[in-house]
Structures are given as structure tokens and as C-alpha cells.
Chains A and B, each alone.
Chain A
Amino acid sequence: MLLLAGLTVFGMFAAPAPADAATLPAGHAAPAAEGDVAVKVRVQNQVLDAATGKTKKEPIAGAKVQVLGADGALIGEGVTDDKGLTTIPVPAKADYTVKLDESSLPDGFVLEGTADRQVLEAGFVTSNVTVNYFTGQAERATIGWWSQFAQRLADGARFGLVLAMCSVGLSLIFGTTGLTNFAHGEMVTFGAMTAYILNIDLGLHLLLAAPIAILAGGLFGVAFDGIVFGPLRRRKIGLVSQMVVTVGLAIILKNAFLWQLGGRVKQFGNFNNQTCTELGPVCITPRDLTTSAISLVILIAVAFALQRTRLGKATRAVSDNPDLASSTGIDSQKIIRIVWILGGMLAATGGIFRGLDEGVSPTMGADLLFLMFAGITLGGLGSAFGALVGGFVIGLFVEVTTLGIPIFPGEDWPDPFNWIHNGVPSELKNMPAYLIMIVVLLVRPQGILGRRERVG
């Protein structure tokens, strides 16, 4: 009995149990049945045009599709027309499963991805939802290395922008207060979680939920400073103790997220199931293109503000030397507060963008924390520009290294020596980033843009 008791207690250490049964909150009642609520299904074939190297989409007619209810009962069926489209009316906005009968595809066409797709109630922004299926011809030529490389480069740049945005706050807070914030990952999660709650539980459109969540992230940041770290600084508690306090906060926050939202990965209600569009050699969804553009604009704005505005100059002055900055009349406490607000807002934005890409989960931010550390170590601890550059480079590097270099020998060499030829396995794709971190600390601990005296 006692052994059992010990085991149950220990069970808490296991990975978060995906125990929450409720997929959608009960308060989000289905609207009255409308006649025109429907699930649209589009089936297309992607063909690589040998002449231009671009992928073209052609509709596939005659594919059989079924829509099943949440309990597995058949709701409706359809066959795609010559535009590759079929519209299956459903009684109400609710959760459905869409099934494509793979045997109904023309010979030689192979479905990419799964045949069963989930449609969530929250996905019905208008009265209908479109589900896209793509096929490729089985004998289709494999995509060339260069176009794969371009695609990874694009994905990596996208991830790098998000990572850079998350890292800036971490690095600025370190620069102005000397504190390494191990709860910064939770600030990222907080943004995504808040947006998720506003979006799904309260039914706001993500375009409205995201700005509110970003503001909440700023408030969250300033609350960190006002409630915890400001008083600790005034009491002259050592930096190592403060660092341990951030660890405690990270534990509290992570479990608070788990407690309220469960361990499962969740999706926002808007901008799902988008088809990627051709952009030169790469394929990118309008959503990802937009988030990348916004990230880029935000990062440039932050860099510009740090370089040119009074406030930015004051921030850099406090980072350089807090005492000297104070003696020249800069209110360093105010600057620190602003840095926490900015850091919180940037982290929340990064979290929302990451959540759009990979889903929202209680550990999404903590999982990024190590990559952020790698980024700011590479860029130089405490330098905001370093964090921008370092975060971007690390994000890019992590994606690109999953693609091997085929002209390099060693296909059959034992792991990890074959990774140069074959690419880093995706389960270990963060390893190159950690390797960079160690190498940077060995050869140039101040990072590419940091200054020597911070190293200690």
C-alpha cells in the first residue's frame, strides 16, 4: 500500500497527463440551426511543373467524401465536381470529422497527409468551413534539394523571427537589471494562452483577441517587476537568489496553465487549414506570410526605437552602466519598468505567432526558452541587437540543419556523424543550437555583439 502511495505521488513527475476531456467549454453553445451551414471540401492535385520548377494545383473530380458527427454518425456525403469541390450541408456549427475515401481517387494519385480531418465548431467563422486535401502523383519526381533548401530557409526565417521577438525581452531585462529570467518562457505561453481563452472561451475573433492578449502580456511583465522583482531589488536580494525566484515563478505559472487548460496542444479558432501559396520556390500560407511580415515590422520598429528615440537611448544607457545612467538624470527604475512591459508584449506576440504555427500548449514557451538562451548567448547576453540577430540565426539554423548535405559523404556513418549527410533528425533538431551555444561560450563568450566586460 505504501509503495503504491509512493508511486502515486511520484506519478506527478510524469509528463502532464492529457486528462482534460472537454474539448470546448460548455458556455459556447451552438447557434440555432441555419439552413446554409456546410462543410466545403476541396481536393486538388499538386503537380511540379518541370519547366518552371513550380507546383501547380489541379482539381480532382470524383473523390468521395463523408462528414461524420462527433459521435461517429454519418451526417452527409459528397462527390467532388470538376472544380474539385463539394459542399456537404450540416445541421449546425459543431465538431465534425471529414473522411476522404482514398480508393475513390484516380489511379496514380496518392493523398498527402491523413484522410481524416477534424473540423472544430470554432472553425466556423462564416457559415461554412473549407477542408483542403492534396494529392501528388505517385510517380512524381521528388522535390529537388535546392527547392527543399529554399523551403527550409523560409520556414527557418519564419521561426527565427518569432524566436528573435521572444528573445529581445529576455535580453533587455538581463541588460538593464542583470537578471536571467527563467520564467520568460512562461511569459510567451501567457500571451498564447490569453489569446486562446479570449478566442475560444469568449468567442472573440483572433484579430481582436491577439491585441488584447499582447496588452495583457505587457501588464503581466510589469506585474512581474512591480510585485516581485522591484521589491527584491529594493531589498538588495542577490541576483542568484532572484534567478532562483524566477525558477519558482516558472514552476508556479507552468502548473497554473496546466491546471486551467490541461496538457493537450490546442489550436486557435481562426486561420486554420490554410492552403499554402507559391512564392517563388517556396510554399507559404497567407497566415504565415502575414505573421512573418508583422514580426519583421515589429523587430525593425524595436531596433529603430532603441537606436533613435530618447527612450531607446536611455534604455541602452541603463544597460551599459546603470549607475552612470542614473547620475545623468535617467530614471532607471522607470526604464526597467518599460523594458518589462516591452519584453512582456514582445513575448506575448511571439507566443501568439508560435501558437498559430504549432498550437498552444502549457509548455510551448518553456520549450523555446533554451533556444532563446542559445540565441542571446550567440548574440551577446544583454545586447538587444544581439538577441535580434542571435534569435533569428538560431531559428534559421535549427530548421535548415534538418536538411542534410548529400554531397558530403557518410550516409551510413553511425549517429551523430551521419547527420551532415542526412540532416539532423527532427526529434533532435535543437541539438545544433545547443552546440552553437557551447562553441560560442568557448571561443567568444561575449557573443557576436556583446561586450567583453559582461562576461565576468
Chain B
Amino acid sequence: MFAGILDLPFNDILTQTLSAFFGVNAMYFAIAAIGLNVQFGYAGLLNFGQAGFMACGAYAAGMTAHYFDISFWWGIPIAVLYAVVFGLIMGIPTLRLRADYLAIVTIALAEVIRLLVRSVTFKKYFNGSDGINGFADTFRRVTPFDDSTRYKLYPFDASNGTTGTVLLLLLFAGMAVLLGRVLLQRFGREGTNRTTFWAVASILTFGLLLVISTYVEYGGQSFKAIVVGWTLAALFGIFVFMLMRSPWGRVLKGIREDEEAVRSLGKSVYSYKMQALIIGGVIATFSGMMLSLDRGSVQPDNYSRDVTFYVLTALVLGGAAKVSGSIVGPMLFWGILSFADVFLNSLFKEWGNQIGIFGWKFVSNSSQVGMIVQGLIGLMLVLLMVFRPQGLFGNRKEMALDGR
């Protein structure tokens, strides 16, 4: 029976896993996780409604075509407006109270958003469960990639064109900086020569992109979203990194550690928490927008509460309270997920429903594989929280959150 393991399509498994690292899913998860990191990682706010913020962005983009009938670019300010309003609705009743009230209200309000946008009652505004199409053309026209061509992440690949090369080089620089910082944190000592780290990081990044590019090509349409989305993720990452080194960020971390101490210094804890909630939400709103731009459609069920939990898992995997964690976490999360999904699916194809006892089958149809993979996500979240709450890059002390 185990002879069949050699017949598994290892090439497919490798290709799909590698492509998932930089794919659209990892990209929009990364943006959402950067936002969630501001709230959960730095401010200690247990926001279980990130999917609601993501839906704000997606529907702001979609409604420009469906209801407002205006240029797509208005979608960006509208998305920010939606996120601010949604954040205020979540925050005003709960931020003065204990942490669990915020968790309860955010999860419920995100569900309210999903129910409202998919309802028949408000079909006029949100087009119900059909979702909205036909708003992504402007975005697709503007981005410098062609729908019918296939692209590689390697910056100097001939098909990318000049603009593409410049954009990808910028991304490459961002990745190198990220990797260099991670390496410094891991292996850096007092007085280490930093230039070596940056050089090693650049070479590693370059090699990684080269390896990935030999296996992985992206279709033109998703490549647009991938490049623009990762650029946004990099910008937000730099923004959050600088924000958290500013006095504002230090106050925020202080609130997470000891609210009373910060209050005794005369800071308004409530106002800081509200700002963190809204900043994280505004960042997450672009996550939903990028997803909908890639799909070319907005679907209400893409913003269910499970999405929030998966983003949370991805963040915890990378390490909360670290910008690097919020970017690398989603990449690894989707890498693992794609690997598990493809691997288990081909295993299922290979052996069918032979595995089981007394007539009970472990897997009897392929949709069960997806459920097992999703169950594994839950298991990953539990194991991480119990045994390694700091994730891969985090600091354990920073994740010792208490019930306040």
C-alpha cells in the first residue's frame, strides 16, 4: 500500500506550495495581519472582527460600480471612511470595558456586516449573495501587466517590462530588509558587522526568488494583484514599524502591558485604543479590497468569521507584536495550507477510501480533505497558543497577555 507514495505528484506539490508563499491569499492575509497586529499584537485588543473591516474595503470598491456609479478610485477614500465608522461602532461601546467584551462585539458585528451585505433586503446597495462584479477594470488597466502573459517573480525576467522590473526590485529590497532584520534578531550579537547581514540577506532573497521563479509562474491577472498587494503590504509594514518606534507606539505597548500605569501618566487609554483599532482596521480594509480586485468580484461569504480566525492563526504563527511576524506568518500559513491541501488530496486520489476501520472511512469524498485541512488550522492555533505563543519571531514576554 505504501508503495504508492512514490507515485504522488511531488512536482505539483512543490510548485503549489512555493506559489502559495507569494500568492494572492498570502498577500491579502499579510495586509490583514499587519492591521490585526496593531490591534492584537501591540495594543492587546482582541479584535475578532477583522473580516468585517476587510468586507468594508471590498464593498467600498464594489459599490463604486454597483451603487454609487462613480470612478473606482473613490473606492479608496470610501473604504477608509467605512473602516473608521465601523471601528467607532465597535470601539465606543466596548473599549472602556474588559477585553472579552471587545472580542464578543467585534465577532458579532463582523457577522452583522456579512448578513447585511448578503441580504435580499439591502440588495440595492450590496447585490445580496450574488456579490458585485465589474469594478476591477480600472485597476487592471492601470497596472503594467498583461492578462494573457505569464509572469515570474524574478525581477529581471524578460516578460516583466521596465515598470514591472522596478516594482519587483523594490519588493526585492523590502524582502531583503525583512530577512536581514530577522537574521539580525536571531543571530546578531553586540557589535556584529551589519553589512554582512544585509549582504547575506540580499543573496538569500535573490536565490529564493530565482528558485521560486524556476518553478512558479503567475497568470497576468493575479500577478497584478500580487505585485500591487505586496507593495502595499511592504508600505504598511514600514509604516507600522515606524509607528511602533514612535512615542505613540510606546504608549500603545505600555497600555498592553499595564493600562493603569499608562493612565496614571495622564494618557487617555480609551483614545489610544480607539486609534489603534481604527488604524488596524483601515489597513485591513485594503486587504479585502486587494482580494476583490484580484477576483474581480466581491463575495459576502469571503468575509466570514473563519477568515478572521485564520488571519489570527497566521499572525500568531509568524509572531504577534513583530512586523516581520505579520508578513512572514501569512506566507508560511498559506505555504503549509497549500502543501497540506495538495498533499492530502493527492493521497486521497491515490488511495481513495481505503483508510478506515469497521466500515468507517477516514475520507470518503474529496470535500472532506478540505475540512481536515481546516481542522488542522484550528489545531495549529491551539498548539501555538499553548506551546509557543510568541510564534516564530515574537518575544514571549510580549505575548503574556492577561484578561484585561
A contact set with B: CB distance below 8 Å: 2-3, 5-6, 8-17, 19-21, 26-27, 174, 178, 180, 182, 228, 232, 237-241, 243-245, 247-253, 255-256, 258-259, 370, 373-374, 377, 381, 415-416, 425, 427-428, 430-431, 434, 437-438, 441-442, 445, 454-456
Q: Are B46 and A243 in contact (CB under 8 A)?
A: yes
A455 to B25, CA, bound (A): 38
A182 shortest CB reach to chain B, Å: 8
- B78 in contact (CB, < 8 A): no
B-side contacts of A180, CB under 8 Å? 100, 103-104
B-side contacts of A377, CB under 8 Å? 101, 104
A-side contacts of B341, CB under 8 Å? 8-9, 12
Q: Are A13 and B338 in contact (CB under 8 A)?
A: no
A259 to B348, CA, bound (A): 14
Contact indicator per residue, chain B 1-45, by CB within 8 Å of chain A (1) or not (0)? 000000000000001100110011100000000000000000010
A411 shortest CB reach to chain B, Å: 15
- B403 in contact (CB, < 8 A): yes
- B368 in contact (CB, < 8 A): yes
Looking across the interface, which residue of chain B has its beta carbon closest to that of A433? B108
Contact indicator per residue, chain B 108-130, by CB within 8 Å of chain A (1) or not (0)? 11011001100111100000000
Looking across the interface, which residue of chain A has its beta carbon closest to that of B316? A244
**A243-B97 contact given A6-B19, A251-B381, CB 8 Å threshold:** no
Contact indicator per residue, chain B 366-401, by CB within 8 Å of chain A (1) or not (0)? 011011111101111110011001000000000111
- B69 in contact (CB, < 8 A): no
* Among B221, B307, B385, contact of A3 (Cβ-Cβ < 8 Å): B221
Q: Are B301 and A14 in contact (CB under 8 A)?
A: yes
B-side contacts of A437, CB under 8 Å? 104-105, 108
- B255 in contact (CB, < 8 A): no
Q: Are A241 and B385 in contact (CB under 8 A)?
A: yes
**A9-B338 contact given A15-B301, A178-B403, A238-B401, CB 8 Å threshold:** yes
Q: Are A244 and B108 in contact (CB under 8 A)?
A: no
B250-305 with Cβ < 8 A to chain A: 301-302, 304
- B202 in contact (CB, < 8 A): no
- B243 in contact (CB, < 8 A): no
B-side contacts of A14, CB under 8 Å? 301
- B107 in contact (CB, < 8 A): yes
A406 shortest CB reach to chain B, Å: 19
Q: Are A2 and B15 in contact (CB under 8 A)?
A: yes
Q: Are B302 and A247 in contact (CB under 8 A)?
A: no
A438 to B217, CA, bound (A): 48
Q: Pick 27 A–B contacts, CB within 8 A, sort by A.
A: A2-B218, A5-B338, A6-B19, A6-B222, A8-B341, A9-B20, A9-B25, A11-B370, A12-B341, A13-B301, A17-B367, A19-B365, A19-B367, A180-B100, A182-B48, A237-B385, A238-B402, A244-B312, A245-B386, A252-B379, A255-B371, A381-B101, A427-B120, A437-B104, A442-B92, A455-B97, A456-B404
Q: How many residues does chain B have at the interface if contact means C-beta atoms less than 8 Å apart?
A: 79
Q: Are B338 and A445 in contact (CB under 8 A)?
A: no
Q: Are B378 and A415 in contact (CB under 8 A)?
A: no
A218 to B342, CA, bound (A): 38
A-side contacts of B221, CB under 8 Å? 3
**A441-B109 contact given A180-B100, A245-B385, A255-B371, CB 8 Å threshold:** no
- B309 in contact (CB, < 8 A): yes
B293-340 with Cβ < 8 A to chain A: 301-302, 304, 306-307, 309, 312-313, 316, 334, 337-338
Q: Are B19 and A13 in contact (CB under 8 A)?
A: no
- B201 in contact (CB, < 8 A): no
- B207 in contact (CB, < 8 A): no
A381 to B15, CA, bound (A): 50
Q: Are A20 and B365 in contact (CB under 8 A)?
A: yes
**A252-B121 contact given A2-B217, A178-B403, A240-B44, CB 8 Å threshold:** no
* Among B19, B115, B359, B374, contact of A5 (Cβ-Cβ < 8 Å): B19
**A250-B402 contact given A9-B337, A14-B301, A445-B101, CB 8 Å threshold:** no
Looking across the interface, which residue of chain A has its beta carbon closest to that of B222? A3
Q: Are A442 and B93 in contact (CB under 8 A)?
A: yes
Q: Are B338 and A255 in contact (CB under 8 A)?
A: no
- B349 in contact (CB, < 8 A): no
A-side contacts of B115, CB under 8 Å? 427-428, 430-431
A434 shortest CB reach to chain B, Å: 5
- B141 in contact (CB, < 8 A): no
